Homo-oligomer: A and B are copies of this chain.
């Protein structure tokens, strides 16, 4: 039984239930789990940890690739399992506990967690828990639909628990390229110079003696909940495609562009769909996650290769992808997130990075994480890894939220994740502001005119002009700079209340 999936015979007697496996996980430990944008996460262990916590104190530091599926973060947070959580999450229940200060969240660049573990900056992994499609005859672990930080977790962990997921086709084997940079000093260059190049192995090599438990699961990934493009996200996509067409026309980019990175979410997915209607061909993707739109571009033939750390697809596209895996085999690779997001590679390849902003300010600073400067949304994810080193760093957002009560373009962002040094181009449904080579005062006028919702342009311009009278390289009126957020918190709208007509 399972001999097709567990080919290292000595491990067959390690098959056990999740409840048995989590006996090796003790209060105070640091646990590293697979899972990146809901793909390839462990299905059984999070639930078993929650059950175990009901019988006695169990507080863990939990590291993952990125977000988990199946409400796992909610289940563990509710059960009080999470003391610290890093480097990313998207769960509403966990988010609430983070913002209440009950769970300590560390919001990290996704390329950096493995480096910090290797350097001893954060506590070492006691137990790694990873989903796999198989264990090879050499005892190596074949990941499923994501790689995330699994290779680094498994390298460092004293004990390893593997979830073999029978719902994942064995055909996934061979899709992965596992390469982990050496410790410093003495590290060598990462040899990757082309998106489709393989520089590592197809499975995570380990000493199989450290595997203490194998759990058999049958649950598919949580499917992507991305929504189809709407008028606004299509407008954003249109601005970007037209801009890239101009760059090609001016000879600054070739007709295959440079490798694309597109963040997770509805706007980014719509932008990628927008490339279906573009003249670009033989494009490549060097991203952290592949969404439905990337598969559509592969199917149309416009995308020749896609490299990422995870596959996060809708139910329909998952079925399509897994059933037709053979036709994608030479066009897709899944890498550790340290490699998919590595500054060395992003800079060398010259990635075109498109990520979503929560808000941005008139000078080009971007907030990706904190609502009104205080409440954590999800985390910075890989946006900084890509934007800082990209050939072009785009940030996109709808111009307003909450039925127009929130402007995504503000005088000063309430939290900074990306400084104006790292932001090239801002886009909303109203237009695109190309900030390259512009000083702050030039940027402000362009951002207000091209990106802000018309309902907010007058107020933004008024702020900017009054700030300019006070002078400064980056003119601001400090006691007003965050007043838009303050007003929203107090009144439910960033709009200045108009005097009622009856009162006039």
> Residues 89-122 of chain A: 1 if any B CB is under 8 Å from the residue's CB, otherwise 0?
0000000001111001111110010011001111
Write the nearest CB–CB distance from A244 to chain B, whole angstroms: 14
Do A468 and B101 have beta carbons less than 8 Å apart?
A: yes
Encode A458-500 as 1/0 by CB contact (under 8 A) with B.
0000000001101111111011011101100100000000000
Q: How long is the Cα–Cα vector from A438 to B373 in the complex, in angstroms?
A: 19
Instruction: A251 to B442: give the CA distance in the assembly, Å.
Output: 50
Q: Within 8 Å CB of A471, what residues of B?
A: 99-101, 374-375
Whether A479 and B482, one on each chain, are in contact in the complex, defined by CB atoms closer than 8 angstroms, is: yes
Q: Is A279 an interface residue (CB 8 A)?
A: no
Which interface class (under 10, 10 to 19, 20 to 34, 35 or more) fits A? 35 or more
User: Separation in Å of the A31 CB from the closest CB of chain B?
Assistant: 15
Contact residues in B for A441 (Cβ distance below 8 Å)? 101, 104
**Inter-subunit contact B421/A380 (CB<8 Å):** yes
The answer to whether B473 and A478 touch across the interface, beta carbons within 8 angstroms, is no
Which of A5-13, A345-353, A447-455 contacts its partner?
A345-353
Q: Tell me if A238 counts as interface (CB < 8 A to partner B).
A: no
> Least Cβ distance of A451 to chain B in Å?
19
Distance (whole angstroms) from the CB of A249 to the closest CB of chain B = 12
Chain B hits for A424, CB < 8 A: 121
Contact with B along A345-372 (1 / 0, CB 8 A): 0011110000000000000010000101
A392-410 interface bits toward B, Cβ cutoff 8 Å, 1 = contact, 0 = none: 1000000000000000000
Whether the pair B258, A184 counts as a contact (CB closer than 8 A) is: yes
Whether B101 lies near A437 (C-beta < 8 A) is: no
Q: Is the CB of B472 within 8 A of A99?
A: yes
For A467, the closest partner residue in chain B by CB is B374
9-residue interface stretch from A20-28, A200-208, A269-277, A383-391: A383-391
Task: Contact check, B343 vs A374: say whether CB atoms are below 8 A apart.
Answer: no
Interface hub of A119, A120, A372 (most chain B Cβ within 10 A) = A119
CB pair B438 A106 closer than 8 Å: yes
B-facing mask of A298-330, CB < 8 A → 1, else 0? Answer: 000000000000000000000000000000000
CB distance from A468 to the nearest CB of B (A): 7
Q: Is the CB of A189 within 8 A of B187?
A: no
Asked if B343 and A184 make an inter-chain contact with CB atoms under 8 angstroms apart, the answer reads no
Distance in angstroms from A162 CB to nearest chain B CB is 27
Contacting residue for A416 out of B193, B416, B470, CB 8 A: B416
Expressed in whole angstroms, the Cα–Cα distance for A472 and B424 within the complex equals 30
Using known A-B contacts A258-B184, A391-B184, A479-B486, determine if residue A421 contacts B109 with beta carbons closer than 8 Å. Answer: yes
A417: which of B191, B421, B439, B442 is its contact (CB, 8 Å)?
B421
Minimum CB–CB distance from A168 to chain B (whole Å) comes to 33
Q: Is A84's CB within 8 Å of the partner chain B?
A: yes
Q: Are B187 and A374 in contact (CB under 8 A)?
A: no
Is A343 touching B389 in the complex (CB atoms < 8 A)?
A: yes
| Contact of A188 with B193 in the complex, beta carbons under 8 Å | yes
Measured between C-beta atoms, what is the minimum distance from A192 to chain B in Å?
8
State whether B119 touches A421 (Cβ < 8 A): no
Q: Is the CB of B347 within 8 A of A474?
A: no
Q: Which of B374, B392, B412 contacts A472 (CB 8 A)?
A: B374
A349 to B277, CA, bound (A): 43
Whole-angstrom CA separation of A71 from B449 in the bound complex: 38
Closest residue of chain B to A418, judged by CB? B419
Given contacts A119-B252, A485-B478, contact A419 B421 (CB under 8 A): no
Cα–Cα, bound, A84→B436 (Å): 13
Give me 19 A-to-B residue pairs in the complex whose CB atoms sit less than 8 angstroms apart, sorted by A's number: A98-B473, A99-B471, A99-B472, A100-B471, A101-B471, A101-B475, A107-B473, A122-B436, A184-B349, A185-B258, A187-B348, A344-B344, A370-B474, A376-B473, A376-B474, A415-B474, A478-B485, A478-B489, A481-B482
A123-B437, A185-B349 known; 16 new pairs, CB 8 Å cut-off, are: A104-B441, A104-B442, A106-B438, A106-B439, A107-B421, A108-B421, A116-B436, A120-B252, A187-B349, A374-B471, A374-B478, A375-B472, A376-B472, A380-B421, A419-B419, A479-B486
What are the nearest 7 A-B pairs in CB distance?
Answer: A374-B472, A376-B473, A184-B350, A189-B189, A416-B416, A104-B439, A344-B344
